[in-house]
Structure 1
């Protein structure tokens, strides 16, 4: 282990790539499942693909927690530099793309219509589906700022176990308050605290507290990397079996009608929560192995670096393909899915790079490489 933590960390590259691919896949499948009349195929396969690959955001949150605590553990932080970097790389492109999506959605340049919707979309990530992850990512960085010292001192495996069951408990509280209520007749608009409770249920996926366990699991893995690697490697077979069992269980509940399609999409359900956690633990050794293969490491590293590009821009690319391209192609639905899946990432990366201010200030030229000092070895006579 490189104790000064300089250089690169390859363990998570494949996990980032897989997470981005899972998000892209479910959004492609989501379009085709809504357009069965125009693009007929097996809707059960499409639905199961969406259901079983819906854990992408949890993978990102785990990886975010791990990277933050791996790179910055026990270091004095320059918080101004920390937030400045995120402003350039995350916030500014997010603002630009939120504006693009808002204009596309409203099809208006009237400031009285555009500005209120833009500001609301900016805060909530609602300008296009799945963009709420960007405000959520910033919340996680704020959580890191507030809890860094506490996590470094107090985050232990027993505390993780407590957070695991606490996360399930939060789901059960919401379920028996709002979905299958044990107490009827509550007027959720009668008091600000009750309104806040209802809001936290309806919009829970937008807030960091609903992902506290997986962020904390990532933090634990980042703080104790060698222990984490040893643990998941030793238990990779049991975790793989557990993942398979829960995947079959979730699929069987949907196919048998015991769970509706909407219920099966709930990643906070205890079954899905355990499924996601076991998948994370089972896939981590695979990600670490792939990330350290010389033939793949460079390719995975580049794709992982552009993870945010795929996440932020892919709705726009899919919108263009779905609205203006694929209906002109007399191809089968599986072929259309495959083609959209392959061509979307490079288009996302191309457009994302063009939203950087630095790209335009350089006149479109590539970023210059840092010069390395030349060391000349000599042999004395």
Structure 2
């Protein structure tokens, strides 16, 4: 464990820069060790999510077996988000004697709800209205925007913020449960896992009646399919030292488990497509019950690798460490805007196909689009972070302008 510390963060998912250990002077509240491996986990996860979005937007995801197989395995990033949120929030608040639900909501929710509303409106105006020649209809079509924003549908990644709002609202309950079950956390986690398996079985195999179907397909935009991973991260935060000791020296075991569970998930998927005639693309592939073991192992492997780097290699890779810190600090903001950058990269068309893909072909088209999306998003974020109102646009405080 590193001996540096964090400030109370603004977002609940992003720790601040290291400082020396010091008490805050408020009863029951001390500053905490800065967890550098959380930075690496966050930066890696967001980078992979953007890659998946670039991959699916530059290929035919509805017919390509390799694309869907890759997406299937990279679904672990979605669940890592929620495990990481549970981890950081519990790390900050588990032993905080003066924890206040209202104060927590007041500080946290505003940092998600304002970016959610602002960027939902931006995506609706650009993608649904401007791109379809309906820009003049914006003032008279706000009811259309309202229907999209209530389910996180304005941009295909905006559902994540919608779920994050629910997680923040429910975190005081999660905190109470974790505190109330001290000494029995394995049973709490086992119960949550059993519920998770039941949820994924229902999502995968249940056919909702016509009266329920219009609402049922929004399940991915609720906290319910992610509840286990929130508890997984939260409980891991409480037992992080024991977990660190247990993971030490188990690299080969973890790699073997990753290959085994990944092979199982892919094997079942390919069997369903090749033998049982299932469609290549399934909107609910992230919730396949057979994917759960891989999701757990994959995020555990990422945690172990990041912790090993922070423990043994961070001081020997200072440039990489600075890059990781930089990327982590901007990851949430990049997540907000990267789909807009991706949209404009693919907007120019040649014979109905994105011009950049027509010019480069594949796989270079996807690779270049991915790099350009990352670079363009980081550039846009740097601009937004220096503007007044950065807190509402990016979920992060405004950066000061540098003087010569």
Normalising by structure 2, what TM-score?
0.76
Normalising by structure 1, what TM-score?
0.81
Matching residue of 2:335:
311
| Matches of 2:375 and 2:367, distance apart in 1 | 14
**CA 1:25–1:315 in 2, change beyond 3 Å: closer, same or farther?**
same
Q: Which of 66, 69, 77 matches 1:48?
A: 69
| Matches of 1:366 and 1:309, distance apart in 2 | 13
Contact 1:136/1:207 (8 A) holds in 2: yes
1:1-381, aligned counterparts within 5 Å? 4-34=30-60, 43-75=64-96, 76-79=98-101, 82-87=104-109, 89-104=111-126, 105-107=128-130, 108-111=135-138, 113-154=140-181, 156-178=185-207, 188-189=210-211, 195=212, 198=213, 201-233=216-248, 235-256=250-271, 257-258=274-275, 259-263=278-282, 266-292=285-311, 293-294=314-315, 295=318, 296-324=320-348, 327-328=355-356, 330-355=359-384, 359-360=387-388, 366-367=399-400
**CA 1:243–1:132 in 2, change beyond 3 Å: closer, same or farther?**
same
Contact 2:112/2:164 (8 A) holds in 1: no
Q: Could you give the per-residue CA deviations for residues 307-336 of structure 1, whole angstroms, max 9, x where no partner exists?
A: 212221111111111112851562232222
| Matches of 1:150 and 1:23, distance apart in 2 | 30
SS at match of 2:287: coil
SS at match of 2:32: coil
Contact 2:108/2:168 (8 A) holds in 1: no
> Shift of residue 350 of structure 1?
3.2
| Matches of 2:253 and 2:214, distance apart in 1 | 38
Q: Which piece of structure 1 moves more, 329-338 or 106-115?
A: 106-115
| Matches of 1:291 and 1:263, distance apart in 2 | 37
Q: Could you give the per-residue CA deviations for residues 326-350 of structure 1, whole angstroms, max 9, x where no partner exists?
A: 5156223222222222222232233
**CA 1:154–1:234 in 2, change beyond 3 Å: closer, same or farther?**
farther
Q: Could you give the per-residue CA deviations for residues 131-162 of structure 1, whole angstroms, max 9, x where no partner exists?
A: 10001011111111233122122160122112
Gaps of 5+ in 2: 4-20, 22-29, 391-397
RMSD of aligned residue pairs (Cα, Å): 3.0
Count of aligned pairs between the two proteins: 348
**CA 1:139–1:88 in 2, change beyond 3 Å: closer, same or farther?**
closer
Contact 1:250/1:271 (8 A) holds in 2: yes
> Shift of residue 202 of structure 1?
1.8
| Matches of 1:261 and 1:319, distance apart in 2 | 25
> Shift of residue 212 of structure 1?
0.9
The structure showing larger relative contact order (alpha-carbon pairs under 8 Å, at least 6 residues apart) is 1
| Matches of 1:7 and 1:114, distance apart in 2 | 49
| Matches of 1:175 and 1:6, distance apart in 2 | 41
| Matches of 1:298 and 1:247, distance apart in 2 | 32
| Matches of 1:35 and 1:26, distance apart in 2 | 11
Matching residue of 1:379:
none
**CA 1:332–1:361 in 2, change beyond 3 Å: closer, same or farther?**
closer
Contact 2:79/2:229 (8 A) holds in 1: yes
